[in-house]
Chain A
Amino acid sequence: MNAPDGNIYYLRGIPVPETPPPGKDPAPWKKTEIVGQRLPRVDAYERVSGVALYPSDIHLPRMLYAAVLRCPHPHAVVKGVDTARAEVMPGVCAVITGKSSESDFTWSFSKEIKAKIFDPTCRFEGEEIAAVAAETAYQAWDAVRAITVEYHVLPFIADESKSLDVSSPQIHSGGNTVKTDRYSRGDVTRGFAEADVVIDETYRTECELHTPLELHGCVASWNGDQLTIWESTQGVYSLQSRIAEILGIPLSKVRVIGHYMGGGFGSKLQPGKYTIIAAALAKKTGRPVRLFLTREETFLAAGNRPPATMRLKAGAKKDGTITALEFSCTATGGAYPAGGTSLMDWLVKDLYLCPHVKTEMRDVYINAGPARPFRAPGHPQGAWALEQMMDALAEKIGMDPVDFRLQNIPYHSQGRDGNPPYTSTGLKECLIEGAKAFGWEEAKKRSRESKKGGYIRRGVGVASGLWFAGGGNPPSTVVVKLFADGSVNLNMGASDIGTGTKTIMTMIVAEELGVRPGAVQIEHADTGTTQYATPSGGSKTVPTDGPAVRAATLSVKQQLLSFAAADLKTDNASLTLLGDEVISAKNPLVKMKIRDVTGLKKRGVIVGVGYRGPNPEGKVVNPFAAQFCEVEVNTRTGEVRITRFLGCHDSGRVMNRLTYDNQVFGGIIMGIGFALSEARVLDRNQTGKMLNRNWHDYKLPTSLDVPVEMTSLPIEKPDDLANTIGAKGLGEPVTIPTAAAVANAVYHAVGIRMTGTPITPQRLCPAVEKGGKESS
């Protein structure tokens, strides 16, 4: 975008940060020029013009299209597969089944539980039975429909509350319990005895499906023994290692490319069986193969947020002290070990001060598609229970819910051994500043007035949260190259999953070197040409790869200054960068243009390598959040209209305010879906099949369901202890408290505790009619 000449540099007399001596961490930025600005995405042009090639857009010469035949039953054994008719159909180039040598690979769900790619035992509706590659997608589907399968249909269990009944079918030989986790600190019996009020409540969250807009899948192409995969993925290196392991080939023979990707939310951290099937078909046919799932298949077999039934008993004193929390839950990650209860109790253990805590989580199998990590695994579920409970306790002791939360803010991570301190805790500020900006007190008053008459009732709700991770961690390697004209190339393995990673990393380079963001070109997300990075998930990409980018940039700067010192016959400690010049801090007459530096001219390029250093020892890096919303409940129809939302977040330094706000709103909108409309429906009694495997029947929020009035209020507290850029993660905390805030607002409006998601008119209306709690 910027001309490579003259315009590369943004500095006008602003000194760039000092370069630390090698081996030392750079000091935190005191003031930034580029970082923190509202910078449009560096790849926005590609994305809005259509030139961005997403993996699903890849079209290679001689490419074939693949389609997968999936089991229509939730539980069955495949007795026979007849592909004779399919094989001779027009355009068909290959058909593979469980009997084909090309697809004879093992897929591990855990150390103990493994299955074949086309396993004879199908444990959920949608397990893979066979696959076809053909000249067009239409022909591939024709052929899939022409395959006949003989099934031995088995009894199924689709209701996790009955999974452990003796009469329920066993899904794996060891029984239907995946695992049970227990935790305890203090003595809850004593804690409850000390309480003035105790509340015991059962909550339920339904299964939520990721459904990113780009379908799951890849294009696979072999070149001799070398495999190239273009996949819609959150992490090219995590794919590379899993694919290499399954196929039994060296890492160097697997190249994974994922320059763009159309959303993942955790469901694209790993490859799918589809990746292996595409590779197998490509091998068999000797041609590139494109295999993207249909939307329906992604509903069945591309992950979900596990449904959970949670019981929470909590005690508090009249003065607002929480005395005890006892939590138990049963949840399911589907038919295979998939983290069904993962982190569900974390907020109970960690979010508020509490000496006596006990939790028990039971993860069980049912005959349904396996879960995949979903934006803050376990947290929105845990928040749904805990944050509604906080509201209920506050009401019972006659305290404002914001004040009650403020009284219980921890500065140590109580859920971790040794009670380590957080590097920074913005929870208090989130609550105070958020309430102020939202107009909490006035809004409460307004809703009290709305109760006087009419059938529209207003209510306001608040909820808080923290995210278990979000501090990032090693490893990450980044390479920055400075060209002879002062323009820059940034090379990193991380994916930009829509969060603006590329833009933020560009800003870090620009900040350190004093170049304009437009002078930075990026290579990323390609195991063949870019550096090692862990997948983009866990809200950790910025805090993980950002410091590595800064380190690599500083290394470049250091080398440049030493080259210039040789030219200028001075020591490099006295030199600094200023615009397109290297200049002596002692004597401004001693200076030269970057492009004239001999060392740079001779080599043509200066290469800097940066690594992510370790996290601070004995400390915990977590982002914090508080969200506020106002709703209108129509007591005649049971409809909930959210009129405004405010997200107040402490994620350390704000790297790019424009993409930051976008994340906050996006997380809130996803949370609104979780609260009001999203739920997988299984036909528990009759067939065990999923009944709403499409976006008509599974309702995502649309433009008509979101409040026009949305506010993002960052608590700008650069966390200098956390890492060298002072940023913590954002992508996940933004969706953690949302649903609970909505439920609290609904309660505030109509006095009904909706303990289960989603709060639909069908459920709210009868509850309003009865004037009480919804019956479960």
Chain B
Amino acid sequence: MSSDHDSHRCTCGKGLSRRQFLTSAGVGALVVAAAGHLEKEHEASAAVMRSGEGDKITLHINGKQYQMLVEPRWSLLHVLRAELGLTGTKEGCGRGECGACTVLMEGIPRYACMTLAVEAEGMEITTLEGLMNGEELGPVQKAFVEHDALQCGYCTPGQIMAVEGLLRKKTHPTMEDIRQGVSGNLCRCGTYNHIFDAAQRAAELKRGGAQ
């Protein structure tokens, strides 16, 4: 934590001064010692970011432009799902652990939950919906269907975006490339092996292989 972070004045609500840390650690020790005691929580220190105060930004998503007012703290994921109704992008954790929210920014896979909407301004953003050609599936999506690279399907949009990002960089990925390429995307159903197959097939389709 940087030393200029003054938790008494800061409004981010996340600051934790060394003193506060010691106080809370002390509470833990008390719990062990006493068979029962009263604890009053600290007054919630958060002087909260006033919601509704927006920044005006323009987002470029799937080839369209969206002008909107966003709170500085809003994640790109929140904007996509809750504000724009682009629910193809999923939320599995909201904190950079699972990859369900993967989108492409300038062609590179990125966690939308870890990206502020204001950061995304001006960047070319592609979501799952953007891989469609009208009603027709894109090559990676087709390959996922063919190889049954999904079970519950909730991690799938993120996996597809990760594979898409990989294939934009590498047209002939090796198995190791593929495993690395989706290693930031958890699948609790355990469909990884079918994803590997689908990624190989998708590479073939993208190179103009047999449809």
Contacts and interface: CB of A to CB of B under 8 A. Distances in A.
B28 A49 contact: no
B87 interface: yes
Contacts of B195: 703
B36 A666 contact: no
10 contacts: A48-B128, A48-B137, A48-B153, A49-B129, A49-B137, A213-B152, A214-B152, A498-B151, A703-B179, A708-B193
A14 interface: no
A695 B186 contact: yes
B88 interface: yes
Given A40-B148, A153-B31, A295-B92, A49 B141 contact: yes
A598 interface: no
A213 B190 contact: no
A670 B190 CA distance: 7
A226 to B, nearest CB: 25
A295 B94 contact: yes
Across the A-B interface, the 7 shortest Cβ-Cβ residue pairs: A50-B88, A262-B154, A669-B190, A498-B152, A666-B190, A498-B151, A47-B153
Nearest to B135: A49
A45 to B, nearest CB: 7
B201 interface: no
Interface string A287-326: 0000000110000000000000000000000000000000
Given A153-B31, A665-B190, A50 B157 contact: yes
B151 A686 contact: no
A89 B127 CA distance: 34
Given A47-B150, A50-B157, A213-B152, A263 B50 contact: no
A145 B154 CA distance: 29
A142 interface: yes
B148 A658 contact: yes
Interface stretch (A51-59, A101-109, A473-481): A51-59
Contact of A498 (B32, B46, B90, B153): B153
Given A44-B150, A213-B90, A668 B137 contact: no
A89 B195 CA distance: 46
A455 interface: no
B179 to A, nearest CB: 5
B196 interface: yes
B151 A146 contact: no
A214 B46 contact: no
Contacts of A214: 90, 92, 152, 154
B128 A59 contact: no
Contacts of A136: 51, 82
Given A215-B92, A661-B194, 19 more contacts: A40-B145, A41-B145, A48-B144, A50-B87, A50-B157, A145-B48, A155-B35, A210-B188, A212-B152, A263-B188, A498-B153, A500-B151, A665-B190, A666-B191, A669-B190, A695-B97, A695-B98, A706-B190, A708-B196
Contact of A145 (B46, B127, B160): B46
Chain B, interface residues (CB within 8 Å), range: 35 or more
Interface of B: 13, 28-32, 34-41, 43-44, 46, 48-52, 71, 73-74, 78, 81-82, 85-95, 97-98, 100, 127-129, 132, 137, 141, 144-146, 148, 150-157, 160, 175, 178-180, 182-183, 185-196
Contacts of B37: 152-153
Interface of A: 40-41, 44-45, 47-54, 56-57, 59, 73, 79, 85, 89-91, 136-139, 142, 145-156, 210-215, 260-263, 265, 294-295, 497-500, 658-659, 661-663, 665-670, 685-688, 694-696, 700-704, 706, 708, 710
A263 B51 contact: no
B170 to A, nearest CB: 16
Contact of A53 (B49, B87, B156, B193): B87
A696 to B, nearest CB: 6
Contact of B151 (A85, A91, A156, A666): A666
A655 to B, nearest CB: 13
Contacts of B98: 213, 295, 695
Contact of A706 (B39, B85, B192): B192
A607 to B, nearest CB: 31
Residue among B30, B144, B154 with the highest chain A CB neighbour number at 10 A: B154
Nearest to A56: B91
A661 B193 CA distance: 10
B188 A694 contact: no
Contact of B183 (A50, A213, A661, A702): A702
B85 A213 contact: no
A687 B39 CA distance: 14
Nearest to A735: B190
Contacts of A137: 78, 82
A212 B188 contact: yes
B48 A703 contact: no
A236 to B, nearest CB: 16
Contact of A704 (B85, B179, B189): B179
A79 B40 CA distance: 10
Given A50-B157, A702-B186, A703-B192, A90 B91 contact: no
Nearest to B142: A48
Given A148-B40, A150-B40, A155-B35, A696 B73 contact: no
Contact of A151 (B35, B39, B71, B175): B39
A682 to B, nearest CB: 13
B29 to A, nearest CB: 8
B38 A213 contact: no
A665 B71 CA distance: 43
A148 B41 CA distance: 6
Contacts of A687: 28, 31-32
A214 B37 CA distance: 38
Contact of A262 (B90, B95, B175, B196): B90
Contacts of B145: 40-41, 44-45, 48
Contacts of A215: 91-92
A662 B38 contact: no
A213 B100 contact: yes
A704 B180 contact: yes
A260 B153 contact: yes
A210 B182 CA distance: 21
Contact of B51 (A91, A663, A704): A91
Nearest to B97: A695
A153 B36 contact: yes
Nearest to A47: B153
B137 A142 contact: no
A210 B141 CA distance: 27
Contact of A665 (B85, B182, B193): B193
B180 to A, nearest CB: 7
Contacts of B153: 47-48, 52, 260, 262, 498
B185 A263 contact: no
A148 B46 CA distance: 12
B91 to A, nearest CB: 7
A658 B182 CA distance: 22
A54 B154 contact: yes
A142 B183 contact: no
Contacts of A89: 48
B21 to A, nearest CB: 14
A142 B81 CA distance: 20
A213 B155 contact: yes
Given A50-B87, A153-B36, A90 B51 contact: yes
A263 B34 CA distance: 42
B190 A667 contact: yes
Contacts of B193: 665, 706, 708, 710
Nearest to B140: A48
B65 to A, nearest CB: 20
Contact of B182 (A52, A212, A670, A703): A703
B138 to A, nearest CB: 9
Contacts of B28: 686-687
A44 B44 contact: no
Contacts of B186: 213, 695, 700, 702
Contacts of A261: 152
Nearest to B31: A153
